[in-house]
Amino acid sequence: MNSTYNEEDKLLILEITEEIDHHTTEKIRRKADYEIERCMPERTIFDFNKVTFMDSAGIGMLIGRYKLAKMFGGSVEMINVKPSIKKIFEMCGIQKIIKVS
């Protein structure tokens, strides 16, 4: 996972570069938590451009990062979400709390 922080806009972009499943969520979670706690951004964006697969472990990981960002007064968004993954988000209703575009 790659991260970019724009201090002027208080924007943290986390580009996920791998599939999100029960094998990878812990590594993604650790890196995202570190970056959110370090930067305390107003907006955190997860870029799904390179993600081709995600299972239910990814949903839990995202909700946890949403709660962490919210604790610091920030928001979370997801961008470049492929249709197959967007379907998963629609089924579980995550787009009701996290903006998906």
Q: What are phi and psi of 21, to 5 degrees?
A: -145, -175
CATH number for the domain whose boundaries are 2-100: 3.30.750.24
Is the model more confident about 101 or about 43?
Answer: 43
Amino acid identity, position 101: S
Check: CB of residue 37 under 8 Å from CB of residue 31.
no
Least Cα distance to 44 among 52, 53, 58, 32 occurs for 32
48-83 tens-digit pLDDT: 999 999 999 999 999 999 999 999 999 999 999 999
> pLDDT grade, residue 101 (50/70/90)?
confident
Domain ranges of the chain: 2-100
- 3-state DSSP call for residue 77? strand
Amino acid identity, position 44: T
**Six-digit token pair at 8?**
């002027």
> pLDDT grade, residue 92 (50/70/90)?
very high
Return the ∠ at Cα 97 (arms to 93 and 101), rounded to 5°.
80
pTM to 2 decimal places: 0.94
Mean pLDDT value across residues 5-22 = 95
